[in-house]
Amino acid sequence: MFAISLGDDGAELRPLEIWQAAEFLTHIDRARELVDPWIPFASFVTDLESARALLQRYAEKQAADTGRLYGIWLEGTLVGGVLFRIFDAESGNCEVGCWLEPAAQGRGLITRAAEKLIDWAVYERGMHRVEWHASAANTRSVAVAKRLGMTRDGVLRQSYLYRGERHDSEIWSVLAPEWRARKP
């Protein structure tokens, strides 16, 4: 296993694997109220079996090179994560997503972790376009897209149903030449 440092605060980015299902479930229980409106799997990961199933689905996506899932640990505790929800190497397009529990907010963890994923996608895998999808009401997620230097491509009006109500989704993106240009 490997861990990538996210900075001087000891935060680390690590693969989130099936054998960590109990830890993942405990974390989602702490995060559920905050992330449930934005992250669909928060509603579905409710017991050890469903936690294993989600982690298994991402293990299969990683094996097929169509997605990946990473956890963010702070002081030895899983506090959030980032993922490639979609990863299409052939087209050069991918989508990065994230979630974080309340106790870990305000530290820049998501921005730092997303930067690592985008660096890998662009520099190692040659991805051309990295997308970020966020509910228009999720101001924290939109703020991360802005900090990452992404451009707002548009709004998909009432594109998803959550608890009987339609919501708008914003699409943000950064292109490989733009990402490379922001690094000194």
The helix or strand, by DSSP H or E, that contains position 16, with its residue range, turns out to be none
- Structure confidence by residue, pLDDT tens digits, 65-121: 999 999 999 999 999 999 999 999 999 999 999 999 999 999 999 999 999 999 999
What is the C-alpha to C-alpha distance for residues 47 and 25, in angstroms, rounded to an integer? Answer: 7
pLDDT digits (tens, 9 = 90+) for 121-164: 999 999 999 999 998 989 999 999 999 999 999 999 998 888 88
Does residue 180 register a pLDDT over 70?
A: yes
Residue 165 predicted with pLDDT over 90: no
Give dist(CA 32, CA 36) in Å, integer.
5
Global confidence as pTM: 0.92
Confidence of residue 184 (pLDDT cuts 50, 70, 90): low
Res 1: pLDDT: 62
129-135: strand order across its sheet:
4-5, 12-15, 68-74, 77-88, 93-100, 129-135, 165-175, 151-162
pLDDT in tens, 25-50: 999 999 999 888 888 888 889 999 99
Name the DSSP letter for residue 46. -
pLDDT at 160: 84
